[in-house]
Structure 1
Amino acid sequence: MEDAAGDLKQALPNVCDDVQIHVEVHQKSSSVAKKEDIRMSVLKLLNRHNIVFGDYKWTEFDDPFLKNNVQSVAIVDTELKLEDRQPIDLSTRSLSLHIFHLNEEGPTSENLEEENEDITAAHHWMLPAGPPGTGKTSLCKALAQKLTIRLSYRYRYGQLIEINSHSLFSKWFSESGKLVTKMFQKIQELVDDPDALVFVLIDEVESLTAARSAFRAGTEPSDAIRVVNAVLTQIDQIKRYPNVVILTTSNITEKIDMAFVDRADIKQYIGPPSTAAIFRIYLSCLEELMKCQIIYPRQQLLTLRELEMIGFIENNVSRLSLLLKEISRKSEGLGGRVLRKLPFLAHALYIQSPSVTMTAFLQALSLAVDKQFEEKKDLADCV
């Protein structure tokens, strides 16, 4: 085995010698091991398995220390630097290890007191936290998670404040911008901690810009525009700090006026998930179902990259992986929330037993996808 690895290393082209490889190490919540000890053990692991093909994750370990202290070791983001799937010799690469705990406590509410009433102004996460979903808001949360992990050498922890724009009008209308200022004062307290990387997420920001448009048209009272202007003023004040990242989402881009657009350094359109993204969503759902033994026996599936690399080999693994790829392809056009629900619906609608084989489950999933598109068509015909 060692001779084969040596032959592979010798045959490797000198590709991307300047590429830095990022390794994310998820330390178990119960672990109190020192980061330096974990770092040394992970480096030994990577030294033993130093040839990888793109992104890869270890979740099972022979080393007792890693087994007791580490949830996973993942080589990530290689596709951002390597155009084609190529063998990577880790022993010749610059490795950047990011060791982190996940916060499992969930969000807390930021409440503001006004006239004997507690108003929930925002939700507050300590980062990094649990896994994100697949939509725009989840992408923003994932970005916050990733930056918190990558910048852990500079900031000791991250914090995420999620503000729902609708609440600014539904509950704060009569008080104009006063409560907005109170909320941002709380955010300012977080920003004042130089060890904290603070993310402020304003969801559905088009509701603020819609109010500005309605005010100009004379259909919105002046109190609403005070709320919007207060938000803009507060954003301008806190964005000057180096430890603040402001994120916004919108479903109706044409309603965002230039006052908001001009403040954005990066603007990114998020379309429906691609076939590759859908495949990964389904694959993660299948993994969870296999862990719970709803799908049994456990069946290994190939990733799309592995399918492309080896081509089609006549065996059960390739056949099932290609079937999942075909289901992913015909699922194009469905949103992330629907895609996450489909495996559950497949089991509820088409599986009549507590456990099922992978083959039978994929057949049920295919039927659930067909049913979803039929329902969408029926709804469209009714409009």
Structure 2
Amino acid sequence: MNLKNSLHVEVAQKRESRLCKDRIKDLVHSHLANYVCLTPGASITGPELEENIELQEHVHSITFCDVDHHTEVSATAVDLIYHVYKLDTFGVETDTMTDASTGEEFAAADVWSLPAQDFHGLWENLVYDTKLKEDTVRFVETALDFADRGVDPHIVSCNRVVLLHGPPGTGKTSLCRALAQKLAIRLGDRFPRARLVEINAHGLFSKWFAESGKLVARLFERVVEIVSDRRLLAVVLVDEVESLAAARRAAIAGLEPSDSIRAVNALLTQLDRLRRFPNVLVLTTSNVTGAIDVAFVDRADLKRLVGPPSARAAYQVLSGCCSELMARGVITQRERVFSLCVLESARFAESAGSRASVRLWGLAQEAAARGLSGRALRRLPVLATLQGRGMKAPDLLIFIEWLYAALHQYLEDATQLDDEHNQRPPPVVVTNGH
């Protein structure tokens, strides 16, 4: 009996490479035989592949990724599961539709072929304290396994619908895209093709006029065309799904034409229709939890809050930013950024080597206490450069002081913006032409 745990190894094969996947796996496996330990989340790229000429010629990167391992593991203590893939470089295709009542053409959905170059590395750079990423992967694997085994959905209900909710800037949409990319790689042997169909519910509702219900049906007819290929994995992302609730409530209150509620009902009906296809996953996001339609919430199997980063997550984000800037020569690399577990083992004691890291931990705590979003955290390094006034390649400690100044300026600007907003008179609402 094999008692070893598994470790997934994702291998990005170069587009121009013509080697078969099995040969790529053999090359990578031989190369990894030289490693004593493997670090989940780490990647082998560029210079690290130079010692193996054939590998460098055909492989772009090797990434160790698994939901069950968070610390370094012995290379002989795990079974390596290889996933070889090529990145699609053609980018997004916009699917347009025409409103029959007005003749106006509008963007209905963005369609990505997966795995996409645009999303490469996105999964690894998303940082959460909870097991959010792990749970979403396991949910999808379980849901697809149920479908494969023919589990009767009337007995065990599974809609394969995920709802991520929380304030703006917390990475909900990015996580959905990264999850779609991850699944396209992990399930590549089962689904040789994968598509991400990204629908902006808010944008669509702004275009729904007299033909609203028909427009929804037409949009999902195109989705059904895609998912009819059972060898293709389709991930449908509905952003800002709270727009459904707003339209439904407004229609019930008489503030919108009854056609709006028909559009909402049509969308819910089409989502139910997708349940028949075992190769479909529906991901949704909402910035306003309290506004989500009850009928939709009931359809979501997995509902997770995505909140602002804690101090621990903020430190990981900021340390990752600093490491990237040192690697690119923006910051002079004179000292390393220690991981949080190293700082904790030393009880955050300051030394010549750890001073910058301890100072960065203080910044992460302050940012978390002030509720900065992940998006705002990743913007701080750019704003920090404004503090240098033309100074090039500062050392890490100086750059962290710039980050402190950028944080305080960001908070001051946000306060002023809120004050200005609160002083404005409320807008005049005109409904039904009155």
Q: Distance in 1 between the 2:245 and 2:340 partners?
A: 41
Q: Distance in 2 between the 1:328 and 1:101 partners?
A: 36
Q: Show CA shifts across 1:28-64 (max 9, x none).
A: 3443333222211221232211324554332222212
Residue of structure 1 in register with 2:304 after alignment: 268
Q: Distance in 2 between the 1:110 and 1:194 partners?
A: 21
1:150 aligns with 2:186: yes
Q: Show CA shifts across 1:90-112 (max 9, x none).
A: 21312111222222332110011
CA contact (8 A) 2:5 2:77 kept: no
Q: Distance in 1 between the 2:184 and 2:279 partners?
A: 11
Q: Give, in angstroms, the shift of residue 310 of structure 1.
A: 7.2
Q: SS at 2:268's partner residue? A: helix
Q: SS at 1:124's partner residue? A: strand
1:252 aligns with 2:288: yes
Query: 126-135 or 197-206, which moves further after superposition?
Result: 126-135
CA contact (8 A) 1:203 1:250 kept: yes
Q: Give, in angstroms, the shift of residue 309 of structure 1.
A: 5.9
Q: Distance in 1 between the 2:35 and 2:207 partners?
A: 56
Task: Flag the structure with more relative contact order, 1 or 2, with Cα contacts below 8 A and sequence separation at least 6.
Answer: 2
Q: SS at 2:33's partner residue? A: helix
Structure 2 gaps of 5+ residues are: 127-169, 423-434
Residue of structure 1 in register with 2:10 after alignment: 24
Of 108, 112, 117, which residue of structure 1 is paired with 2:97? 112
Map 1:167-186; keep pairs closer than 5 Å: 167-186=203-222
Q: Give, in angstroms, the shift of residue 222 of structure 1.
A: 0.5
Distance 1:114 1:374, change over 3 A: closer
1:340 aligns with 2:327: no
1:95 aligns with 2:80: yes
Question: In the alignment, residue 106 of structure 1 is paired with which amino acid?
Answer: G
Aligned-residue RMSD, C-alpha:
2.6
CA contact (8 A) 2:38 2:73 kept: yes
Q: Distance in 1 between the 2:96 and 2:278 partners?
A: 26
Question: In the alignment, residue 65 of structure 2 is paired with which amino acid?
Answer: V
Q: Give, in angstroms, the shift of residue 230 of structure 1.
A: 1.1
Q: Distance in 2 between the 1:154 and 1:139 partners?
A: 22
Q: Give, in angstroms, the shift of residue 139 of structure 1.
A: 0.9
Distance 1:128 1:299, change over 3 A: farther
Q: Distance in 2 between the 1:31 and 1:357 partners?
A: 40
Q: Give, in angstroms, the shift of residue 347 of structure 1.
A: 0.7
Query: 280-289 or 214-223, which moves further after superposition?
Result: 280-289
Q: Show CA shifts across 1:221-268 (max 9, x none).
A: 111111111111111111221110001111111112321011111111
CA contact (8 A) 1:21 1:93 kept: yes
Q: SS at 2:364's partner residue? A: helix
Residue of structure 2 in register with 1:125 after alignment: 112
1:278 aligns with 2:263: no
Give the count of matched residue pairs: 364
Question: In the alignment, residue 344 of structure 1 is paired with which amino acid?
Answer: V
Q: Show CA shifts across 1:346-369 (max 9, x none).
A: 112434234333232222112111
Q: Give, in angstroms, the shift of residue 314 of structure 1.
A: 7.3
Of 285, 293, 307, which residue of structure 1 is paired with 2:329? 293
Structure 1 length-normalised TM: 0.86
Query: 338-347 or 284-293, which moves further after superposition?
Result: 284-293
Q: Show CA shifts across 1:169-217 (max 9, x none).
A: 2112232211111111111111011221101111111111121122222
CA contact (8 A) 2:191 2:232 kept: yes
Q: Give, in angstroms, the shift of residue 313 of structure 1.
A: 8.5
Residue of structure 2 in register with 1:8 after alignment: none
Structure 2 length-normalised TM: 0.76
Question: In the alignment, residue 118 of structure 1 is paired with which amino acid?
Answer: E
Q: Show CA shifts across 1:59-85 (max 9, x none).
A: 2222122222223222223xx4358x4
Residue of structure 2 in register with 1:63 after alignment: 52
CA contact (8 A) 2:208 2:260 kept: no
Q: SS at 2:276's partner residue? A: coil
Query: 23-32 or 190-199, which moves further after superposition?
Result: 23-32
Q: Give, in angstroms, the shift of residue 381 of structure 1.
A: 4.8
CA contact (8 A) 1:285 1:343 kept: yes
Q: Distance in 1 between the 2:209 and 2:418 partners?
A: 36
CA contact (8 A) 1:17 1:93 kept: no
Q: Distance in 2 between the 1:359 and 1:284 partners?
A: 15
Residue of structure 2 in register with 1:162 after alignment: 198
Q: Show CA shifts across 1:283-310 (max 9, x none).
A: 3433443344222347543333454467
Distance 1:310 1:193, change over 3 A: farther
Of 242, 248, 257, which residue of structure 2 is paired with 1:206? 242
Distance 1:24 1:53, change over 3 A: closer
Residue of structure 2 in register with 1:3 after alignment: none
CA contact (8 A) 2:244 2:293 kept: no
1:38 aligns with 2:27: no
Query: 184-193 or 98-107, which moves further after superposition?
Result: 98-107
Q: Distance in 1 between the 2:23 and 2:344 partners?
A: 37
Map 1:341-360; keep pairs closer than 5 Å: 341-360=379-398
Q: SS at 2:354's partner residue? A: helix
CA contact (8 A) 1:135 1:336 kept: yes
CA contact (8 A) 1:159 1:197 kept: yes
